[in-house]
Structure 1
Amino acid sequence: MVASSSPANIDKSIPSNEYLLEMNIKKVKNILIANRDDRFESLKMIDDIQGLGIDLHFQHEIDQTLDMIYKECSQFYRYYGRDPHEAALCFRLLRQEGHSVQESFFGNILDKEGKFEDNLQNDVKGLVELYEASELGVEGEETLDSVRKFTFNRLIELCSGRESHQEREIMTSLMQPRHKTSRRLTSKRFITMIKIAGQEDEWLQSLLRVAEIDSIMLKSLIQEEMTRTFKWWTELGLEKELLKARNQPLKWYTWSMEILQDPTLSEQRLDLTKTISLIYVIDDIFDVYGELEELAIFTQVIERWDLERLEKLPRYMKVCFEALKMITTEISMKVCKSHGWDPTDSLRKSWASLFKAFLVEAKWFTSGYLPDTEEYMKNGVVSSGVHLVMLHVYFLLGKELTRDKVKLIESNPMLVYY
């Protein structure tokens, strides 16, 4: 007799992934909280959690721990100035979470002449962490600029003569700084490192189980969302109308997946993917398809939502407009239902701004005009589409929707530049 494969025959004594995940998350949280009195240990734990890309499960505990460290160490270089690795890690984690940490801290690892201490020259861990910290510098921070140049050059020198895996780790840190790299793309490397380093460490083993189970569950969610994205794109029909336009639904979804990483934001990710896809397609219409006169009329249609002028345009522009209209309406209805705010006018204005920026670039290209850097950047912060995406994310998340904040974000694309 062949055993049935019905759900009734599933062994219920085997814990589900959800149960195992919650159990190990709880264990990690308890260990993280228990170690708060040891600041450096807490920082290393937070760094491991973030490196594995699972910080969403521990955000409350991470925020509490970093807030506590920041309050206790408002002059934290007095506490962490002894060790460059420790100090740089503290600086990086606090600054990337938005705490106001000044570059003057790094003066403690310089000698009286403003040069780096000799004992730092061969400290690979310290050099790598200092380089990572320097990547969070902003314009005008000369000390961080010096730290970046020194650590980069010294690490390149130290690569020669080292074993291949050590050289590879150093070069990976230099080419892919943590602050500028997707955590999901680097999590596999950190899993491997933890497997090697933490075979007998209960904390690291629990952390590893969270990362592995989370990865399995996340993979299933991503596959489902990708399937829905490809289905939507195919049914939309723009790929048939615009054969020369980019046809990259996977790329467009990847942008949304990185911007909105919380697994519970599935619908918001899919809606944002639709917006991003249209930015790319419309950009191709302005760059590849449209004549300047047609593009000017197309822009006027979007500015005024003028259906009469739409009739003067070629079919592919009409189809594109209908897709834009449908997506904007869908998103506006969802935001209104979920958050009690109708973003239709704001979204239409933002699309109009994007079209006008694309039209400016089309006119430049047609006339052979070469703008200076300032003129190009002023238009580019709009034509990049980042401001439009940021506006959609703001409405899709629905947090702190007030008239003043909506007015600020919809009217000030230079926020992207700064």
Structure 2
Amino acid sequence: MMRQDPKAIDDDPTQALRARGVRLGQQQGLRLQWLSRTFGPLVHCDERPSPGRGRTIVLLDPPTGAGAELLYGTLTSHDAVAIPFGENPAFDFLKSKLTAFGTVGTSADGPHELWWGGRDWPAPETAPATTMGVVSCHPTTVGDLHVYHLRRSLQRLGLPFDIEAIDCRPGERLSAADKADFVARMWQRHREPLLYVEADVMFQAAPGLPHLAGCDFAVHKWNGWEMSPRTLYFGRSKAAETMLTTWREIASTYPDVWDGYLIDQAWSAVTSQIALDTVWLPRSYHAVAGEAGVGNATIVHNLKPTNADLGPDPDFAEVARSPRRAGRVGALESLLVVRSKVKSGRGVTVILRDVEGSSARATADSIERLTSAFVADCGGFGRLELSLCSWAPEVRMARRAALLADNMVLEIVPGQELPADLFAATAASEAMRRPASFNAHRH
């Protein structure tokens, strides 16, 4: 990033970064403004921090292994790192050394995923400006004694709450559909942001972090990759409502699937279509009773402190673990879904392959050109689905998923020259009635 007036960058980071070839959406720009106010002014990664001051380091190019180590060594708990091209796996190594704080999803206006993190979450200096409501539900068969500690802890902290008993089939636990329906009812009943927790938890402090961050959705990731449905935050935004609705629809369609996987799939679907502002809750929101350091936790869960509590399904989406650790969608999923104004059920999947061997800038430029081309002329397609693939196996999986969805398939590489009427030409090709592949000559 060019050395510019820090105040100008902080006031309008969207325009400042656009001058450097970074295309951000409105919500992503707002998040960068929040980072600059919370941690410190936006600076280049090689700028030295001022004594006693924090900074928000904007990273446009992935560092080498040694560079990542050097950058990490300069960070303090007052610093944040923002990666506007967070969808690119070239940044994964650096992310693995940092604590992920949050992401802002993609949209036609901002076709990249903004990732932000740091050494560790700083302690909030102020209380939430307004309250959030805590909601929870439990089977009618377990009785009120099951929620005794939850209720008492909320009363002690003076937090508003709504706890209900839910009917379910005899001898069974509440399903993901039961929980999603309950949260949806609570979202309609109340007007404040909601924090859903399992009934067997206890609060030790007021949960101010999600509200301070002003996000749409917040969740904790077990072991860095597996989303836990035990603590879920939903803001009052349209994006938050979309996340809740999507979770509810998926849960009702697959009622027997583990709820952790369903919330993961809902997040993946929503963050690829709208600028969903997600916060990754720290372990203090998912502490286990009896483990070391639990006295400083915000929420304590009644789980056994063993590896077995990392999820009931040891085979959970192994292919998605690496992307989730890096806070992004994987090759099997669409990084970006753009819907056109044309009322058509036909979709086109663009596979951007060989990403691992290309520069982050070239990949980002191709993403932006593809998105702009589709918005300008969709060729009659109802939607564009864009997937990033580093290796041939990922390409095969993405192609298979696209064909199962009956999408037309295009494969390109970063930096490849594309015709201005790419999608119109594709729609007019003789392979219109069956999945086809388009390979333009590389520039």
Is TM more than 0.5 here?
no
What TM-score bracket applies, with the shorter chain setting the length?
A: under 0.3
TM-score (norm 2): 0.22
**Which has the larger Rg?**
1
Higher helix share: 1
Higher strand share: 2
TM-score (norm 1): 0.23
